[in-house]
Amino acid sequence: MGWIAPIAVLTLFMALLGTMYLAYVVDPEKNLHDFPIALVNQDEGDVTGPPDAQRRVNFGDQIAAAMRQGIPADKVDLREVGINEAELQMQNGKVYGAIIIPSDFSKRLGILGVGSVIPGDIEKPVITLQTNPRTGAFVTNIVQQIGEQALAQVDKQVGEQLTQQVKTQLTPPDGGPAPELTGATRLALADPIDVVVEPFRKLPAGTGQGLTAFFYALLLLLAGLVGSMTIHTMIDAALGVVPTEYGPWFVHYPRTHLSRFKTLLLKWGVMVITSITMSTVFVLVAKALGMPMSNTFGLFLYGVLAITAVGVTGLAILAAIGSAGLLVNLILFIILGLPSSGGTVPIEATPHYFAWLAAFEPMHQVFLGVRAILYFDGSFEAGLARGVWMAVLGLAVGVVLGVLITRFYDRKGLHRGSSIVVEESGSAVVNKSED
């Protein structure tokens, strides 16, 4: 019946894999929550109406109020800020986009209302929808969709109000009927706003439209994960703890009586050295492929830190629970990590539990650090600070876990030379080797 166990384990493993990977891409619109967008209202207002009945209007305030009411608060975090604060938050990746109403918006609407019924050239007032492509490839699409839907409704409401205002102004003082507006005039007034979509800081060529940060972070994570598994297996084989097979050749070196703690220290040392070589390789490959890097040395150092943190933690888990650590590492770093990274679909467009995972999952922290170095000039506020201290925290957790577990096993005499032999009767006999 031993064949049932691998089937059961793999079935559960793949069920988790399928759930995690499909859940975060199936319906981003449905899963949208706390999606940060800045709203900047610079409109200074204008005076409208006949000389004897003038009144001050501010269409920017009306649009801002309409957007606060029309955009679902449970889906979008609409932040009303000034232009300087909006630019600062865009530079630091704190908001994914901005809706900007210019200072002369009401004035231009008034000109449009007057110009629609008299000869002459006129221009529609403009509202700018800025995207922040450096925050992620899929983010731009979501920002455009939210902005265009909200502004389409605003355009309709403002058009109705402007049409009514023009009719009122054209009504004779004696109360007679207002002249009928032409079809061209009605069309111009019904669609008075011109929405311009533009990127805040356009990504340079060679960035994969914002995907290079995600894939570079994935490389660092895989280097640490695969490195830990490879080092664990190869050093155990060299120490004679496990046999090694090369095709038809079977090799089992003499057992080296090294404690669990010293074995882990040896593996950690190899992992640190390997992280330096692997980070160097990644930087050289990226340069050879023409990937823009404004801070090459910073990217190299962060790569060493990230690979070391993942590798040390992975080796600690393998030292703690043995072969089962392979599955645990895959679940921790890959299955739970990639969907909660925010590198492709933003966290705010995935189910809520991905945001909980992103608070501690290594992949998200590494992505934030790499993205800040590649796209935000190494800004600590853009995620590098979080990426660094979370990597240091993960490294510390791995070191503490590995030291405590291996020292405990050594004190209890649970040496790696011990074995459990299952006899034909089904009973287990523990044979301890002499260290």
More confident site: 6 or 329: 329
Contacts of 72 (CB under 8 A, 6+ apart): none
Residue 92's CB is within 10 A of a number of other CB atoms, namely: 16
Q: Is the pLDDT of residue 430 over 50?
A: no
Per-residue pLDDT tens for 290-307?
A: 999 989 999 999 999 999
Least confident of 66-70, 228-232, 388-392: 66-70
Q: Specify burial of residue 370 (Cβ count, 10 A radius: 0-12, 13-18, 19+).
A: buried
Contacts of 358 (CB under 8 A, 6+ apart): 340, 341, 342, 347, 364
Q: Tell me, what's the pLDDT at 184? A: 55
Q: How far out from the chain centre does Cα 215 lie? A: 12
Q: How confident is the model at residue 97 (pLDDT cuts 50, 70, 90)?
A: very high
SS3 of residue 38 by DSSP: strand
Distance CA 312, CA 274 (A): 11
DSSP secondary-structure letter at 207? S
Q: Tell me, what's the pLDDT at 218? A: 95
More confident site: 414 or 42: 42
DSSP code string of 103-172? TTHHHHHHHHHHHTSSSS-----EEEEEE-GGG-TTHHHHHHHHHHHHHHHHHHHHHHHHHHHHHHHHS-
* % of the chain at pLDDT higher than 70: 84
Mean pLDDT, range 16-32, rounded to an integer? 84
Nearest C-alpha neighbor of 107 from the set 61, 156, 58, 169: 58
Distance CA 209, CA 139 (A): 11
Q: Is the pLDDT of residue 435 over 50?
A: no
More confident site: 225 or 421: 225
CB-CB contact of 206 with 290 (8 Å): yes
Q: What is the mean pLDDT of the chain?
A: 85
Q: Is the pLDDT of residue 428 over 50?
A: no
Distance CA 410, CA 408 (A): 5
Distance CA 397, CA 386 (A): 16
Mean pLDDT, range 379-408, rounded to an integer? 96
Q: How far out from the chain centre does Cα 149 lie? A: 23
Per-residue pLDDT tens for 100-150?
A: 999 988 888 777 765 554 454 567 788 999 999 999 878 988 999 998 888
Q: What is the pTM of this model?
A: 0.87
Per-residue pLDDT tens for 159-184?
A: 777 766 666 665 555 555 655 655 55
Q: Is the pLDDT of residue 289 over 80?
A: yes
Cα 308 to Cα 189, 285, 286, 304: the distances in Å are 62, 20, 20, 6
Distance CA 431, CA 435 (A): 13
Q: Tell me, what's the pLDDT at 174? A: 58
